[in-house]
Amino acid sequence: MMELKRIVGMGLVAGMCWLGTSEGARAQEVETATDVVEEQIQVEVMADSTVSEALVRERLAKLENIIPLRYHKVTHQFVEYFIYRKPSFVKRMLEQMHLYFPLYEQMLEKHGMPRELKFLSLIESGLNPRIISYAGAGGLWQFMPATGREYGMKQNDYIDERFDPVKSTEAACVYLKRLHRAFGDWEMALAAYNVGPGNVKRAMRRSGSSTFWGIYNFLPKQTRHYVPQFVAMTYLMHYHADHGIFAETPDYPMIFDTIQVSGYVNLHTFAKLSNISLDEFYKINPQVINTELPATTKEYVLRVPSHNFDFFQENRVAIWDSATKSPFQSRMLLTANGEETTDSAGAIKKVGGLVAAGDENEDPETIITRQTRKMYHTVRRGETLGKIASRYGVDTYDLKRWNHLRGNSIMRGKRLVVFKETAKNVSAPVQLVSDTKTKIKIRYHRVQPGDTLSTIAERYGINISRLKKINRLKGNTVRKGQKLIVG
């Protein structure tokens, strides 16, 4: 019997993995984004809650290294927004940064790029490797499907490597480096990453300028605020403590080993027999989007928690036999260094918990596009901060910050400030559910060139199996122009 050797990591971050939108520039010739950022950002705060302009200017000047961190009033507004209205976002980034920043820093150093680019992922995805924007951009670095394929990220009904932190970070470094070479300026490169190089060049022609602030007024509104957001997040990740924002429960990477699988694998069976929870498997293999791998799989690398590796090694023959549906066909599982053995890998039926933009991890740009109402709530008997926050759809941490509360206890009759965000340009009144028949609005998608069931399912945040079921599809192919029900 061949011996299975332990392979740590993939030569990156010593085998540590992650537990953990803007539309992104990967839609290269899109004129404007679907959700456009308001030109004026209204940040309503208490009278004594403002950040000194001189202080922000001074600190940005100290932080500035390779990428310019210029002060701008829009940058200041974003700083105040995240301090006073969305401190929970900064807190969450502080808690999750240990999962990805070591990888980012290693990749950026490998490519000879500024380390501060690691903060770009915060405004792209909120450090959620499985988030998908409404436009279909996915992953930590929000690649559109076509650009993901252009940069070597495999996408099919089983795997979407835009969600792989290692491969997507490598691709983001290559793409950003290419943009910097094209424009010779990091601010321009960031703008091009957001809206596409074609739109940046168009703004240059119309403005006659070759600098970001020179073309500022000729860019889509979303992109005008993209660079200021980056500067604001860079500021906050360095000076969060001075504004009373701290990580409470930081996450740290999981140590993993790698294996290679070939042939068909039932991922449910593999995970169960390997004593790996499905949730755990998907967290370290976010690129796996199905419950199985097909018979055409060839030496595909998967990650296995190190604490399960010995059990897996001892039981690999039984695990592999049970996880393979076609026993007549010989299949081999290889370790990452090419030694033969037997095994598979695990997944979950709901496509691994993909998150559509708009969920709790939505990116800052989406948040900023909303209007905010200042409301008041008088605490009633039996209410808790958690219940009140849930009622208004806000974070408990934010509710406490808005009202200068240190603990979790509140007294009956206390008047609380609540900043309630509502979708922009929604003028229709809210229709309450009554005893009459409820109308259900069906959403459709017209299949475009390059679409697959996988990319369509990801875009609308639904399971591939459900997509096939509601459209009565037997196979995995779709035709250009085909009309599919997606919700």
From the candidates 23, 95, 116, 124, give the one annotated as an active-site residue. 124
Question: Using one digit for the tens of pLDDT, what is the confidence trace for 152-191?
Answer: 999 998 999 999 999 999 999 999 999 999 999 999 999 9
Query: Is 187 designated active site?
Result: no
- In a domain? residue 434: no
Mean pLDDT of 26-38: 29
Q: Which has more pLDDT, 10 or 103?
A: 103
- In a domain? residue 13: no
- In a domain? residue 145: yes
Q: What pLDDT band is residue 487 in, cutting at 50, 70 and 90?
A: low
Question: Both 80 and 222 in a single domain?
Answer: yes
How far from 469 is each of 46, 51, 299, 473, CA to CA, in Å? 52, 53, 31, 6
Cβ-based neighbours of 76, under 8 Å, separated by 6 or more: 51, 53, 56
Find the range with the poorest average confidence among 241-255, 313-327, 419-433: 419-433
Question: Both 221 and 302 in a single domain?
Answer: no
Range with the largest mean pLDDT of 16-25, 34-43, 110-119, 351-360: 110-119
- In a domain? residue 363: no
- In a domain? residue 431: no
Domain containing 148 — which CATH number? 1.10.530.10
- In a domain? residue 436: no
Range with the largest mean pLDDT of 6-20, 349-363, 461-475: 461-475
Question: Both 340 and 263 in a single domain?
Answer: yes
User: What is the extent of the structural domain holding 307?
Assistant: 254-353
The number of distinct structural domains making up the chain is 4
**Token couple for 422:** 């509502």
- In a domain? residue 52: yes
| pLDDT at residue 236 in the model | 97
Question: Using one digit for the tens of pLDDT, what is the confidence trace for 53-89?
Answer: 999 999 999 999 899 999 999 999 999 999 999 999 9
When the pLDDT of each residue in the chain is averaged and rounded to a whole number, the result is 77
Q: What pLDDT band is residue 372 in, cutting at 50, 70 and 90?
A: low
Cβ-based neighbours of 62, under 8 Å, separated by 6 or more: none
Question: Using one digit for the tens of pLDDT, what is the confidence trace for 219-261?
Answer: 998 899 999 999 999 999 999 999 999 998 888 888 888 888 8
Mean pLDDT of 431-447: 48
| pLDDT at residue 428 in the model | 30
The DSSP result for 439-457, as a single string, is: P-PPPEEE--TT--HHHHH
